[in-house]
Structure 1
């Protein structure tokens, strides 16, 4: 097991991992309901060279469980905390082995948010420089033209007398109707969007060291602004140091399997997400209630991008990084 774990560690740390996902979705938004209907889904990933945290944990625990296969359950502890008195490792091994069959992944349509959950989902792009203005200073830089619209250019930065502000950058607001035409944001120098350091207490340290975005909005015939383009980049760091112990519930004490180990995991994760609003149209609640679609669709997984994959759909062209992905 130690040799396998060392090989896995060398494979993971030899180079960084990279993958891409593309989705085409119909989004139905009513006053208190938001529903996704996926049209097509693509994962571009080379499984031989790419790992995500779930893949790593699965590999680690699969190697661990194989060495502890037993007809008996186990008592498991992390540090001094018992996880469960009777854990069946055989069931966990079976679940992981089934996952290794690489059955097709799916995305589900029935992501339905209502009332408070809808509000949280629909407003998750609202940063505190839009909602908690007392934490920021705003400076009018003048009037400029942005995407064909005359706009007030406003710079914002944290209020030095308020410690909660973290972001800097620009707002562009239509001079005619005060609609938001565009804005961008980035963390101020030295700031983190989130920072938790329990390294010496629980062996955990996590922080978000990158949180930036760029948004463009378009005005429809009903004079309502809709998101036309959104780009968000998140960068996070995580450190986890834990101990685990397994003790077999074998009635014969002399034959009990026992295993104690410590593991350490440290990684940086960068994720950039782009949303493009291709087309907007109004629908009535009656039309929404009459809609029906399959519960899920399969995700297509490929190792090399095919330029014909989206040929029948109205989408933006793939970036050069996606086209040349290996």
Structure 2
């Protein structure tokens, strides 16, 4: 009897272990095109979405072989299967055939004005953006496309020729790194964002990593830090200098001997990261001051119903929008539920000729800055209580920069001077992604009781590790990130 019981237990354990595993695969169309942001769901509240390449990875531990798995995406027929059939492979979805489209449009037409009216009337009912807790996964990708760089000393009363040659040689190396370097850097973390209101939030970080080659780090902070290191290397650290840039005196008393850790404080500051994540959540909310102002500022935009599609049995309007007035910035597509008039998904990009913040003092101060090529998407998920919350947000932005300014260092205690020209031009490219893995409402007392640390302790990796997030259902990385490796 004991032997028989042990056999049954072993058999049960073997069956169960088949489903206590990571399943990785791809979701494609019938023509083998990737389907980004498709949902893979097990049970009512557990799932992941595919990345831009259609790839996903999901942990199935704790579920039974008979549990249902659903793969779905707007515009495609939902595929259902049981967990024992769910394995690491390619899954193909059929495009949704809009059989009800003609009947619906003929028998019960709704104008675009009516749809937008009901959308805005139901915003407060459909979304609860305050006193909320989001369990989030965040990924940030950064790199620079360098166009031009030129750093050179043109005057010096304190350097000999050999010293000038050495200084300029170091600057040449920095120029080449800026223009020729193609490496990207990635920052990821898992944590909990507590939002009190649109102005106030707190962040707890459970785990955080960076993938970067520190020799080629081209963040704004590191570029400035490298320039400072070169100055420290060649100027006398025991002296105090007056620093002038262009027509302006930057400082009356700068000691190069001082150890300045402000840049490291900024990079590792939890406040900096919390503000970035909270701002991204707020930017994908609904008001005239957010990215999604094309929902609320209906007089600024023109709209067109392009199609009707389905997600499961739910009918969805596909609406295109574009600027009607010069004060409108974006164009794209959004999707509206016929049942609740909630926005289920929205895509946006700068309309032709539109840019973001800019500063053009090229002639006066040798500085130019332009935000351009902004684009992104947001997908909302329906809570079991009937309201919606952002499930996935992605935002990309290019920041063009140009700086051409003379910089002078003058020893406060002598006539020694060092003057060099600083010219650099390029584009900072930045992409942020936030996946909300779980959401719940909180009380004001819960928010007040939440404690926040000052810094984030990042772990820096020299190569992509597929097992790093194995205990979390995070967003599957793109192929380029999987191939990241620092070559010694």
State the secondary structure of the residue aligned to 1:298.
coil
1:109-168 deviation per Cα after TM superposition (whole angstroms, max 9, x unaligned)? 79777xxx9996752233232343322111223432247632222111111xx2122211
Aligned position for 2:104: none
Say if 2:203 and 2:452, in contact at 8 Å, map to a contact too: no
Aligned position for 1:263: 422
Structure 1 unaligned regions, length at least 5: none
For 2:440 and 2:203, locate their aligned partners in 1 and report how far apart those are by CA, in whole Å. 15
Larger RCO of the pair (alpha carbons < 8 Å, separation 6+): 2
Q: How does 1:46-125 map to 2 (within 5 A)?
A: 46-91=213-258, 94-95=259-260, 106-108=268-270, 122-125=281-284
CA root-mean-square deviation:
2.8
Distance 1:118 1:52, change over 3 A: closer
Aligned position for 2:478: 319
| Largest Rg, 1 or 2 | 2
1:13 and 2:179 are equivalent in the alignment: yes
1:190 and 2:357 are equivalent in the alignment: no
Distance 1:39 1:149, change over 3 A: farther
Say if 1:184 and 1:215, in contact at 8 Å, map to a contact too: yes
State the secondary structure of the residue aligned to 1:286.
helix
> Once the 2 structures are TM-superposed, how far is the Cα of residue 17 of structure 1 from its aligned partner?
2.9
For 2:215 and 2:365, locate their aligned partners in 1 and report how far apart those are by CA, in whole Å. 33
Aligned position for 1:154: 319
Aligned residues: 311
Aligned position for 2:464: 305
> Once the 2 structures are TM-superposed, how far is the Cα of residue 70 of structure 1 from its aligned partner?
4.8
Runs of 4+ in 1 over 6 A off after TM superposition: 109-113, 117-121
For 2:402 and 2:370, locate their aligned partners in 1 and report how far apart those are by CA, in whole Å. 9
> Once the 2 structures are TM-superposed, how far is the Cα of residue 281 of structure 1 from its aligned partner?
2.2
1:271-293 deviation per Cα after TM superposition (whole angstroms, max 9, x unaligned)? 12111111112333333344446
For 2:307 and 2:279, locate their aligned partners in 1 and report how far apart those are by CA, in whole Å. 33
Structure 2 unaligned regions, length at least 5: 1-166, 285-289
